Structure 1
Amino acid sequence: MKTKVLLTALASFAGFIAVPAQAETFDGPYVGVLAGYNRAEVADRTIEAQPIDAEVSREALVLGGYAGYNYKVNDRLVIGAEAGFSGAFDDELRAQSAGGSVTIDPRYSFDLSARAGYLVNDKTLVYVRGGYANSRVRTTLVSDDGTTRASDNLDGWLVGGGVERALTDRISARLEYRYTDLGNNGGQYDQHQALVGISYNF
């Protein structure tokens, strides 16, 4: 009798181990990579309050990574926080300033934001985000007086929204639009981004 009970208990335990609990895609920590389109627009003043003659813009490819944490408040509501780091390729903006040539070169950016989303179904999250953004920018002015270079960190804010779809219990994909305002020096420095991301959910 004892042997039968013991065998039954061992079989039940083995079955419990063999069937792991289903992971919650939108509940817990995650990391990911992103890529997409970036359009930067600059007008008025740049670094060191250097005025430019007209608005300039540049389109470029942006790549980056992110890490965050989702908290599932209930069956439909998800909130969380995320940190990201990115850089663009061939994204220098060139303008004129009082007869001189100005080159504005964004080096890299990072951001800290909060997300709030609604689960349309178990696999699809529609969300909005907002938070802090920072970009390291180098400006070069070439004039008759010589070449002047300046580097600075621009503080700003971002807002955006998108949709994220669970592909498996661990992998999800997102499509997102972001607007970032880095014009804290009295001028205009805006970024418009359309991004695709792949996340691994722990």
Structure 2
Amino acid sequence: MNRIIAGIMAAASVMAASPAFAETFDGPYVGVQAGLNHDRARGADTDIGEVNVRDSRDSFIGGAFAGYNYRLTPHVVIGAEGSFDIGAADALRSGAAVIDPNHSFDLSARAGYLVTPETLLYVRGGYENMRARISDGTATGHDTFDGWSVGGGVERAILQNVTARIEYRYSDLGNNDHDFDRHHALVGVAYHF
């Protein structure tokens, strides 16, 4: 976790020194993101029954996002965003039991404050869905994990219509008294139309 914090601080220092060219926090945008993911599972109630995975794993995650910002006041921005992500080497295992995430997507609302015309501090919250291959040691299948996510970050205009951002996101995908937590530390670049 210390490496995640150090990476976020390094990215923030680069963003703080970047010049801004235009106000871009109003309207549609698309982008790409990548970063570190930390999953922790303590069992799961799935379509094939109880999967007794008690493991945690750090992995790489990457994907794409799209959204829409609306400038509510000169300093307040609200919006909606959806993203799709895929992880690498992120299977959780305990003996023969496995939860191996295939992909995830989320839909969330964002609210932010423009501390300068080029820098947006924001929070987010919404719905997350993860599809995974599962096995209890005898049966194998696929299941969907639904949950909620919250997070926040900073986004800064670095070129005309281009922003860079760093973000932390927490997701709870647990069910029926089982814990399944995800932590994302992401950097991203977006093009604003």
Give the equivalent residue in structure 1 for 2:58: 59
Q: Deviations over 1:177-198 (max 9, x none)?
A: 0000111343111100100000
Which amino acid in structure 2 is aligned with residue 113 of structure 1?
Answer: S
TM-score normalised by the chain length of structure 1: 0.81
Alignment of 1:21-36 (within 5 A): 24-36=23-35
Give the equivalent residue in structure 2 for 1:16: none
In the alignment, is residue 140 of structure 1 matched against residue 131 of structure 2?
Answer: no
Q: Distance in 1 between matches of 2:159 and 2:128?
A: 31
Which amino acid in structure 1 is aligned with residue 103 of structure 2?
Answer: Y
In the alignment, is residue 183 of structure 1 matched against residue 174 of structure 2?
Answer: yes
Which amino acid in structure 1 is aligned with residue 87 of structure 2?
Answer: A
How big is the shift at 1:45?
2.9
Give the equivalent residue in structure 2 for 1:87: 86
Give the equivalent residue in structure 2 for 1:111: 106
Q: Distance in 2 between matches of 1:106 and 1:61?
A: 12
Q: Distance in 1 between matches of 2:136 and 2:99?
A: 9
Choose 1 or 2 for highest CA Rg. 1
How big is the shift at 1:23?
5.6
Alignment of 1:118-157 (within 5 A): 118-142=113-137, 147-157=138-148
Give the equivalent residue in structure 1 for 2:16: none
Asked if the contact 1:49/1:185 (under 8 Å) is kept, the reply is: no
Q: Distance in 2 between matches of 1:148 and 1:24?
A: 54
Superposed CA RMSD in Å reads 1.5
Which amino acid in structure 1 is aligned with residue 152 of structure 2?
Answer: G
Which amino acid in structure 1 is aligned with residue 178 of structure 2?
Answer: G
Give the equivalent residue in structure 2 for 1:18: none
Unaligned segments of structure 2, at least 5 residues: 1-20
Tell me how many residue pairs correspond in the alignment: 172
Unaligned segments of structure 1, at least 5 residues: 1-21
Q: Deviations over 1:51-80 (max 9, x none)?
A: 527x31011000000000000011100000
Q: Which structure has the highest strand share of the two? A: 2
Q: Distance in 2 between matches of 1:33 and 1:169?
A: 17
TM-score normalised by the chain length of structure 2: 0.85
Which amino acid in structure 1 is aligned with residue 74 of structure 2?
Answer: D
Give the equivalent residue in structure 1 for 2:73: 74
Asked if the contact 2:22/2:157 (under 8 Å) is kept, the reply is: no
Give the equivalent residue in structure 1 for 2:9: none
Which amino acid in structure 2 is aligned with residue 39 of structure 1?
Answer: H
